[in-house]
């Protein structure tokens, strides 16, 4: 189990940019295409709020949906919950450690999982492989 990271709203505001704060702490969605192109070298995509390892480079694929997409994620770092907002039934994904909102999961991804983790690029940082 990942350690839980709890910070006050003011602390998050201090640490994050306005856009990072809006997306991760207020369940926002970045504009399509704004962070679609993530680094392509080997490494790990981490939570921009707390640094938890969320996705590996090899889990990423080109979905051309306007947001970074992954077909799976690091289970121990990612939590899911049901989201009924906007009149849709969706699965919301968040950082298990700090509860940062990351994006949603849709059942139209490639094999082997058939899932598309549609993630806000602004919620991710990148740690190149050493």
Active site residues: 118
Output the CA angle 30-34-35, nearest 5 degrees.
Answer: 95
The Cα–Cα gap between 114 and 9 comes to 36
Least distance to Zn ion, CB of residue 73, Å: 13
Residue 88 CB, shortest distance to Zn ion, in Å, is 25
**Interacting residues with Zn ion between 78 and 97 (CB under 5 A):** 95, 97
Binding of residue 118 to Zn ion (CB under 5 A): no
Smallest separation, CB 46 to Zn ion (Å) = 8
Q: Tell which positions 13-52 bind Zn ion, by CB under 5 A.
A: 47, 49-50, 52
Q: Is 96 left (phi over 0), alpha (psi -120 to 50) or beta?
A: alpha
- To which residue do tokens 């839980």 refer? 4
Using alpha carbons, select from 104, 127, 102, 120 the residue that is nearest to residue 46: 127
**CB of 23 or CB of 95, closer to Zn ion:** 95
Residues at the interface with Zn ion (CB under 5 A): 47, 49-50, 52, 95, 97-98, 100
């Amino acid at each position: 189990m990942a350690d839980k990271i709890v910070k006050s709203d003011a602390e998050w505001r201090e640490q994050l940019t306005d856009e990072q704060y809006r997306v991760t702490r207020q369940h926002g969605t970045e504009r399509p295409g704004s962070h679609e192109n993530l680094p392509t070298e080997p490494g790990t995509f981490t939570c921009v709020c707390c640094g938890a390892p969320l996705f590996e480079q090899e889990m990423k694929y080109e979905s051309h949906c306007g947001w970074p997409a992954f077909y799976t994620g690091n289970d121990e770092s990612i939590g899911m919950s049901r989201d009924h907002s906007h009149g849709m039934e969706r699965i919301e994904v968040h950082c298990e450690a700090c509860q940062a909102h990351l994006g949603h999961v849709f059942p139209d991804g490639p094999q082997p999982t058939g899932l598309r983790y549609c993630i806000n690029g602004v919620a991710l940082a990148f740690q190149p492989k050493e």
